[in-house]
Structure 1
Amino acid sequence: MRPRRIHITGAAGSGTTTLGRALTAETGALHLDTDDVYWLPTDPPFREKRPIPDRLALLEEGFGRTDHWVLSGSLLGWGDPLIPQFDLVVFLLIPPVLRMQRLRAREVERYGAEALAPGGAMHVTYQAFLDWAEAYDTGARVSRNLQAHEAWLSRLPCPVLRIEGDTTVEDRVRRVLAVRVREGQAWRG
C-alpha cells in the first residue's frame, strides 16, 4: 500500500513545501508544514519560536484529523516524539548554489526587493537568514545542517526515500507515489 503518513524534509529551499503541496493535491491528504507550528504569528513573520510542547501539540492535533497526511519541513532537534507516526520520510537534497538561488528568489517574492536591499526594513534579517541557510551544507554555526540531518535519517525506523538533484516536482511526486509500504518495510511497486 502507499504510505499514508509522509514527512518530507531537507534544507531550507530544497522544495519540501512545494512537494508537500503537490502530493496533497494529487492524493487528497492533509498538508501540514513545520513552519506553521515552529513560529508564533508575528509581523514580520519568523521572529519568535513557539515552545516545543506547543509545536508538538499542534502537529498531533493535525495528525488526529485524518490518517492521511503529508508533513513538510524540518523537525530536526525537536520533533522526535512524532517519528513513530511516519510511514515514510522523504529527504530532498539539491545543489547548494541552486538552493540558495531559490531562497533568494522566494524572499524577494515574499517581501519585495526594496525591503531586502541594503537599508531596507528586512535587510538585516534577510542577510542573517541567508547566512544561516548557507551554513546548512558546511555544518558551520548551525545545528540544522546536512551532517545532523544524515545522522537523524540513519536512525529512523521507517523507510527513507532520498531524492537528490534538481528534479521536477512531477518527478518527485511520481517517485514518492511509487513507494509501497508492507509491514513497516518499503518496497518499490
Structure 2
Amino acid sequence: MSRNWFGTLVSVVVTTLSVATMSSLGVGVLVGLTTDAGALPCDQLPGTAQPFEGNRHIPYEGAPHQPYRTMPPTSGPHSPRVVIPGVYRAPIREELQVHVLEHGHVLVQYAPDVPPADVRALERLGRRHLRDVVVAPYPALGHGIGLSGWQRLQRLDTLDERTVEEFITTVAGRYDHDWQHGATDCLTG
C-alpha cells in the first residue's frame, strides 16, 4: 500500500512541477510579446548595413554559387542544413554561417591571431546567449573578430566585450526568414 501511495505522490509532484513550468514559460512569452518595444532603428545599430545577397538554399553541400561580397558573409546562398547556436572549436563553412544568420542568430568569429584569453571571453559571451549566438574560429578573417547578423557586419581589431555584447543583444532576432519586430533592411527600408 505504501509503495502505491509513494508512486501517486511522485506523479502528483511531477505533474504539478510540469504545469508550473509550462505556465511560467507561457507567462514569460506573453510578457515578452506585450512589452516588446520593437526593433531599434537602423541608425542606432552597431556595425554597418550590408546589401542583400539573396536567401536561397543551395541544392547540396559544396554546390557552386556566387561568392559572398562580405567577410564573413551576411546573406546569400546557403546550405539547407542548420547549425545550432553554441560554441564551436572548429570553423563553420560559410554556407552554414549564412543559414545561422537566416534564423536570426549572430555569429561571433575570431581569426587565428586572437589571444586565447580573448577566445575564452568570446566563448563566455556566447554561452551567456546560447539561444542567439554561434561562436567559432574563422581563419579566413585573417585578423581580429567578426560579428555578423543578417545583413549586418562589424569587425574588431581587438576584443571589446561591451561592443560584442551590444551587437548580440541588438542584432539577434531582427531577422528570422523575414524582418521581425519592426526591423527592416537598413539599405532599402
**Shared fold, TM over 0.5:** no
Choose between structure 1 and 2: higher strand proportion. 1
Q: TM-score, with normalisation over the residues of structure 1?
A: 0.26
Structure 2 length normalisation: TM-score?
A: 0.26
Higher fraction of helix: 1
Higher relative contact order (CA 8 A, sep 6+): 1
**Higher Cα Rg: structure 1 or 2?**
2
